[in-house]
Chain A
Amino acid sequence: MLTSADRELLDGLVREMGPRLAGYLRHSFGRRVDVDEVVAETFCRAAGNIAALRRAERKDLYLLRVARNLCLDSFRRKPVELVSDERLEAARGDDDAPEMMVDEERRTALLAAVAELPDSQREIVVLRMSAGLTFEEIADLLKMPLGTALSRMHVAVQRLRERLLNDEESQKPRRAGVRTKSV
């Protein structure tokens, strides 16, 4: 039975952690999970084990761990079912595009490049840049040495750099061609 203090705790966490969990799940697992469903289930599990949530020193890490385990469990139990494009778009519809990103084309290219990273690298990038965890926290969450988390991040970021550079290079002649034709 939840007390009013528990409800208050959960309400605060829903507001603070809901978007962070959704961002982590969306960028880490993409179309393999129904993000809204997993976020809701994460809070239900937390409510179901409210004593453990109360005890957790870092409630954000606790919730991220629950959400991650839910996804890994679902991958183990059934073949991956991709979320349909309609549901994905509907879920994205809740996002307000970040105002600071001036170049939308660049942002799209960056997100596409992140989505193409190997799972083990992408999750670290997302935990660091979206969930805002330190490398120590990431290493603890993913049960790996700190050095491994750091080196996977480095490999991932260098891959992203190369990929974006290649994209820019491949677009140069095309753009030049378009200009030539239009003259």
Chain B
Amino acid sequence: MTACERVSGELVRVMYGEADAASMSPELAAHLSGCERCAAGLRETRGLLDELETALRPPAASESALRRIRAALDSRPRSIPIAGAARKFAILRPVWSMAAAALLLLAWRASVWPVAEISTPAPVVLNTAESAAVAEALAMLYVEDSSDVRLEYAAERIDSLREQLGESGRALPWTADDDWDLPRPTSG
């Protein structure tokens, strides 16, 4: 391992401000005073970072942009309506419908396990738009990089769907608070 390689880790941290240049190790300080290549690398990189910061600096908020955002906040619905979700997934409707049906069946099967504790829930019948909306919410729970925001959004959608379907006497067999990795059996 060369001397340059030995200090490269700390040098990179100093370059990008992750380590304080004023308190760099004696080894790195000595290396920089003797190695023009590393010293120039540090100098040039910092210069380029200054330029980058200036070039990429966000402009001050323009009044027209702020007005557009405020207008959107005033006029848009707070979440995607079911009709909107159904339109968005129109091409995949048959696939989503089957997926929703399969997931509902799995969730229902899991919810009534074991057999001894069966309290048969009424079948939940969804129309195409509703099944697309349910599938969309469920799909959000199962994407590979589900973030907190996405999960919260999915939970909000599920709650809203439960409420909406509940109004017409159709109770989904699960809630947003369920343990989605392992659905709990119903207690009675």
Interfacial chain B residues near A72, Cβ < 8 Å: 145
Contact A110 B55, beta carbon cutoff 8 Å:
yes
Q: Does B70 contact A (CB under 8 A)?
A: yes
Contact B58 A22, beta carbon cutoff 8 Å:
yes
Q: Which of A18, A45, A106 contacts B66 (CB 8 A)?
A: A18
Q: Does A71 contact B (CB under 8 A)?
A: no
Most A-side CB within 10 Å, residue of B51, B58, B79:
B58
Interfacial chain B residues near A40, Cβ < 8 Å: 68-69, 72-73, 76
The complex places the Cα of A44 from the Cα of B57 at a distance, in Å, of 25
The complex places the Cα of A110 from the Cα of B51 at a distance, in Å, of 8
**Nearest-CB distance from A157 to chain B (Å)?**
6
Across the interface, name the chain B residue whose C-beta is closest to A99: B54
Contact A10 B152, beta carbon cutoff 8 Å:
no
Interfacial chain A residues near B60, Cβ < 8 Å: 19, 96
**Nearest-CB distance from A134 to chain B (Å)?**
8
User: Binary interface profile of A, 13-47, with partner B (CB < 8 Å = 1, else 0)?
Assistant: 01110111011100100000000100111011101
Interfacial chain A residues near B13, Cβ < 8 Å: 150
**Nearest-CB distance from B167 to chain A (Å)?**
19
Q: Which of B45, B61, B65, B150 contacts A157 (CB 8 A)?
A: B45
Interfacial chain A residues near B53, Cβ < 8 Å: 129
User: A44-B73, A62-B149, A110-B52 are known contacts. Are A36 and B68 too (CB-CB below 8 A)?
Assistant: yes
**Nearest-CB distance from B109 to chain A (Å)?**
29
Q: Does A87 contact B (CB under 8 A)?
A: no
Contact A161 B49, beta carbon cutoff 8 Å:
no
Q: Does B34 contact A (CB under 8 A)?
A: no
Contact B16 A52, beta carbon cutoff 8 Å:
no
Contact A157 B49, beta carbon cutoff 8 Å:
yes
Contact A126 B69, beta carbon cutoff 8 Å:
no
Q: Tell me the residues in window 1-38 of chain B with beta carbons closer than 8 Å to chain A beta carbons.
A: 12-13, 15-16, 18
Q: Does A107 contact B (CB under 8 A)?
A: yes
Interfacial chain B residues near A94, Cβ < 8 Å: 59, 62, 64-65
User: A96-B59, A154-B12 are known contacts. Are A160 and B152 too (CB-CB below 8 A)?
Assistant: no
Q: Which of B59, B73, B153 contacts A47 (CB 8 A)?
A: B73
Contact A48 B147, beta carbon cutoff 8 Å:
no
Contact A107 B69, beta carbon cutoff 8 Å:
no
User: A15-B61, A43-B73 are known contacts. Are A153 and B16 too (CB-CB below 8 A)?
Assistant: yes
User: A49-B156, A94-B64, A150-B13 are known contacts. Are A19 and B59 too (CB-CB below 8 A)?
Assistant: yes
Q: Which of B55, B73, B79 contacts A101 (CB 8 A)?
A: B55
Contact A161 B48, beta carbon cutoff 8 Å:
yes
The complex places the Cα of A11 from the Cα of B73 at a distance, in Å, of 10
Minimum-distance CB pairs A-B, first 6: A23-B58, A48-B78, A40-B72, A130-B56, A19-B58, A95-B59
Q: Can you report 27 residue pairs joining A to B where beta carbons are below 8 Å apart?
A: A11-B70, A14-B70, A14-B73, A27-B56, A39-B65, A43-B72, A48-B77, A49-B153, A49-B156, A52-B149, A65-B147, A65-B149, A69-B147, A77-B88, A94-B65, A96-B59, A101-B51, A107-B54, A125-B52, A129-B49, A129-B53, A143-B145, A150-B16, A150-B18, A157-B52, A160-B52, A161-B45
Residues of B within 8 A of A (CB): 12-13, 15-16, 18, 44-45, 48-49, 51-62, 64-66, 68-70, 72-73, 76-79, 88, 145, 147-150, 152-153, 156
Kindly list 5 other residue pairs between chains A and B, CB separation below 8 angstroms, not including A107-B54, A129-B56, A135-B16.
A19-B60, A48-B77, A48-B78, A77-B88, A157-B45
